[in-house]
A and B are shown apart, each in its own frame.
Chain A
Amino acid sequence: MNLAELQRHFSEALYTPLNSDEGIANRTRRGESMQRVAEAIIKPNDRLSSAERLEIYSRSYWFRIISSLNEDFVGLRAVVGDEKFDALVQAYLIDNPSRSFTLRNLGSRLETWLRANPQYVQPHEQLAFDMVRVEWADTECFDAAEESVLTLSDIAHLGDDPKLHLQPHIQLLDLRYQVDKLLLEIREQAETESDEASNTFSERRTRARVKRVRSSKPKPVFVVVHRVDYLVYFKRVTPEAFRVLTSFRNGMSLSETIDAAFNPSTLPQAKIKELVQGWFREWAEWKWFAKEAA
């Protein structure tokens, strides 16, 4: 058996999910006997069989990657519940083993996968989709690049109809539920958990809050996930402001952007101008504009 063959056999066993007792499964995903696979490649010793030695690696693999998704998607876990979340994560990881050298990217395909496999989040699909989008946007925003900042004064010198670029860390989300606020509440509770008593109380409060949001009617919100002083914030904006920002991200010029945002609109031109100027002041203050496109 050459190196590549050995590594494929080992990986096949490693990537087979654990059994319900968190031990190595009896069969690989291809239906081979796990014991036979282990014995073919791994020596036993005086304390452990070949399969038991393989199990050390298998448990370590599954615990590590599940724990990574647990940390990155606490909001989704709260929305779907612990039991469903565990099943969802396992199914996702079978379909989407890590393709990156960093665990940071492990959840990059979760939203797409959930939309193709909504049975894992029913009957709260939309809420779950929204939550995954916010949580992934948070990850992306946290360590994305920051380009040189374009100031209001810079913008004034760009000509009549400039194309403005947003900072790469800015993420634009149109959501049907107010999951931005819910996620902050869930995280805050997780951080304040210190002992078992408060933990139980806190979990109860989380469940109540999730239930409240689940049972509420969808209310669209427009959220900008952005960074100030290296910390990630969620900022709600109006639908018009969101359309302006989205148009900038799509490479449209200023005039095209205003058209896209306010056409049709009953607002007088003077009011539109005042609104846009106000947004620009605010966005420039938060350093949302970049000199170069990402």
Chain B
Amino acid sequence: MSSNRFNAFKDLGVGIGLRIPHYNHILSEKPVVGWFEIISENYMIDGGRPLHILDQILEQYQVIQHGVSMYFGSAEPLNREHLKRLKALVRRTKTPWLSDHLCWGSVDGTYSHDLLPMPYTFEAAKLTADKIKEARDFLEVPIAVENVSSYAEFHVSEMTEWEFLNEVVERADCGILLDVNNIYVSSQNHNFDPFTYLESVPIERVAQIHIAGHSKYEKYILDTHDHPVIDPVWKLYARAIELAGPTPTLLEWDDHIPSFDQVHAEALKANRYVPSNVPELAAVSE
């Protein structure tokens, strides 16, 4: 079982992302869902409808926070204002852990709002790990870092992406949000075997798994979160579950969002790969 100190020993089963088009359905129909993942930045505000909706969701569901702009890998220090707002939200949601990406995205205080790829160097690993530790100490909640999809590799890299991931999480002693779709996308863009990556991950640190769809172009694959999960990604997921055991799993669907029921049904396919003797996960799929 991948219940561990990086996910506060929670067995949450399958969840989906909380998205605006589904608000009314969720609040009126109260569907049975293992948990919802929110994008933290959408709720790091002072008031208004987003927080009002979130509070209603929190009354009935477990919510896990996932961030997109902490930028642990940026060479500049963490943004204190960001951290303060994030901590206020952590207190509100009581998220048992939170995640953000193993990437960079800001330089000298300007933000790209993208998940930019890391150079896989020891210098970058040390800086990134130090920032993860600093954030965890401030936020007082376990942190998991997510591997991103990438479209570029740097000359200065001194190791593979999975070696870099290992280096960072060991130094920071943090969890991993393992995105199997991102492993697949990057493997196609950079010509490596996704199973080699997967089998090199320190599996005892996997707090959560992401699955998603992507878009295939002539010369590369783009991580778009706007399609169902494809078979090769399900195969990676199956292997991840084989290695880690049942792990909180979330389907990401962020663009061209279909109905709640369609997204939920796609997410629940994950239960096919979970051993049937795990009652709490089997129940979710009924």
List chain A positions with a Cβ less than 8 A from chain B.
1-4, 6-8, 10-11, 14-15, 40-43, 45-48, 50, 52-54, 56-57, 60-61, 64-65, 97-104, 142-146, 168-169, 227, 230-231
Cβ of B147 to closest chain A Cβ, rounded Å: 17
| Interface contact A102-B44, CB-CB below 8 Å | yes
B152 at the interface (CB under 8 A from A): yes
Say whether, besides A143-B45, A144-B46, A3 and B121 are in contact (CB < 8 Å): yes
| Cβ-based interface call for B164 (8 A) | no
Chain B 22-44: CB-based contact to A (< 8 A → 1; otherwise 0): 00000000000000000001001
In the bound complex, do residue A43 and residue B153 qualify as a contact, i.e. CB atoms below 8 Å apart?
yes
For A146, give the chain B residue with the smallest CB separation.
B47
Query: How distant is the Cα of A234 from the Cα of B89 in the complex, in angstroms?
Result: 30
Q: Report chain A residues within 8 Å CB of B191.
A: 45-46
The CA of A57 and the CA of B103, in the complex, are separated in Å by 13
List residues of B (193-223) whose CB comes within 8 Å of A's CBs: 219-220, 222
CA distance A25 to B124 in the complex (A): 29
Residue of A14, A98, A101, A168 near B41 (CB, 8 A) is: A101
Question: Across the interface, which residues of A come within 8 angstroms of B111, CB to CB?
Answer: 97-101
A/B pair count, beta carbons within 8 Å = 118
> In the bound complex, do residue A65 and residue B113 qualify as a contact, i.e. CB atoms below 8 Å apart?
yes
User: What is the number of residues of chain B that contact chain A, defined by CB distance less than 8 Å?
Assistant: 45
| Distance from A246 Cβ to chain B, minimum over Cβ atoms (Å) | 22
Q: Which residues in B have their C-beta under 8 angstroms from that of A56?
A: 151-152, 220, 222
Asked if B75 is at the interface of the complex by the 8 Å CB criterion, the answer is yes
User: Which residues on the A side are within 8 Å of B116 (C-beta)?
Assistant: 7, 10, 14, 57
Residues of A contacting B127 in the complex (Cβ-Cβ under 8 angstroms) = 3
Contact (Cβ within 8 A) B48 A98: no
Known A143-B46, A143-B50, A230-B52: A3·B124 in contact at CB below 8 Å: yes
Given A40-B155, A100-B111, A101-B79, 5 extra CB contacts under 8 A: A1-B156, A15-B110, A97-B110, A98-B110, A101-B82
Interface 0/1 of B111-133, CB less than 8 Å to A: 11110100101011001000000
Chain B residue with Cβ nearest A52: B219
**In the assembled complex, B279 has its CB within 8 A of some CB on chain A:** no
Q: Which residues of the partner chain A approach B220 to less than 8 Å between Cβ atoms?
A: 47-48, 56
B155→A61 contact, CB < 8 A: no
Name A39's closest neighbour in chain B (CB-CB). Answer: B155
> Which residues of A sit under 8 angstroms from B124, Cβ to Cβ?
3
Contact call A6/B119, Cβ cutoff below 8 A: yes
Q: Point out the residues of chain A lying under 8 angstroms from B222, CB to CB.
A: 56
Given contacts A3-B75, A7-B104, A101-B41, contact A43 B155 (CB under 8 A): yes
Whether A41 and B69, one on each chain, are in contact in the complex, defined by CB atoms closer than 8 angstroms, is no
B152 to A: closest C-beta gap in Å: 4
Determine if B109 and A53 form an interchain contact, defined as CB atoms under 8 angstroms apart: no
Report whether B112 and A11 are in contact in the complex, using a CB–CB cutoff of 8 Å. yes
From A10, which residue of chain B is reached at the shortest CB distance? B116
Alpha-carbon gap, A278 to B133, bound state (A): 57
In the assembled complex, the CB of A294 is this many whole angstroms from the nearest CB of chain B, namely: 9
Q: How far is the CA of A136 from the CA of B81 in the complex (A)?
A: 22
For A42, give the chain B residue with the smallest CB separation.
B152
Contact partners of B108 in chain A: CB under 8 A: 8
Interface centre among A42, A52, A143 (most CB of B within 10 A): A143
